[in-house]
A and B are shown apart, each in its own frame.
Chain A
Amino acid sequence: EVQLLESGGGLVQPGGSLRLSCAASGFTFSSHAMNWVRQAPGKGLEWVSAISHFGDFIYYADSVRGRFTISRDNSKNTLYLQMNSLRAEDMAVYYCVRVLPSSNPGGRGYYYASWGQGTLVTVSS
């Protein structure tokens, strides 16, 4: 069974930093691109960042570029999101998602077949 378990969320002051982790199991982690998607309280889904299966291609939403860094450790089956210079508008539940299909890396037609349970990031003084 595919499992994605996020951790690292919590309360942080504006301007502060947090590092989110996503522990993956039940599939070959190194064969899949991974993404982070967030959802502010009462709002819709917003894509945050993507990383290819070997970490050689990385993309960010304009809203987080220059402040957030996505990375992965395939030896530990873990995805990360380092979040710096946090703002009130970054407050959200952050979801780790597995990208399919693995047979067409970087191509169109991808979809998010597996989601973690989410971790809440609260930015407040």
Chain B
Amino acid sequence: DIQMTQSPSSLSASVGDKVTITCRASQSITTYLNWYKQEPGKAPNLLIYGASTLQSGVPSRFSGSGSGTDFTLTISGLQPEDFATYYCQQSYITDSTTFGPGTKIDIK
């Protein structure tokens, strides 16, 4: 199985801040990496797939990069609605998938 880790597990930030979350895979997954956002009490929402492709309708302040084992999600100019938990997911393995443990962004 491919293990996914994220850092930090949580962070405090202010509106307007630039925030970067890191996701690491236990083996190379090339660019088969997705990012999701989950607000409390709601289902997750796809932000980025293929490591860097922005899902339709997602604001351009979100960006993703990386390949191999190391990936980042960047939010440039944090907005009030961005305070949520973010998960990465590997889609390299075709008969299963794994998510990272999540990174919670809260208000400083």
**A residues neighboring B (CB under 8 Å):** 35, 44-47, 50, 59, 61, 95, 106-113, 115-118
Contact = CB atoms under 8 A, between A and B. Distances in A.
B66 interface: no
A3 to B, nearest CB: 12
Contacts of B102: 44-45
Given A109-B50, A111-B89, A112-B89, 6 more contacts: A44-B87, A44-B101, A45-B44, A61-B96, A108-B91, A108-B93
A111 B49 contact: yes
Interface of B: 32, 34, 36, 38, 43-46, 49-50, 55, 87, 89, 91-102
Given A107-B94, A112-B34, A113-B55, A118 B43 contact: yes
Contact of A112 (B46, B94, B101): B46
Interface of B is mostly: loop
Contacts of A61: 96
A119 B92 CA distance: 28
B19 to A, nearest CB: 19
Nearest to B50: A109
A57 B89 CA distance: 21
Contacts of A44: 87, 99-102
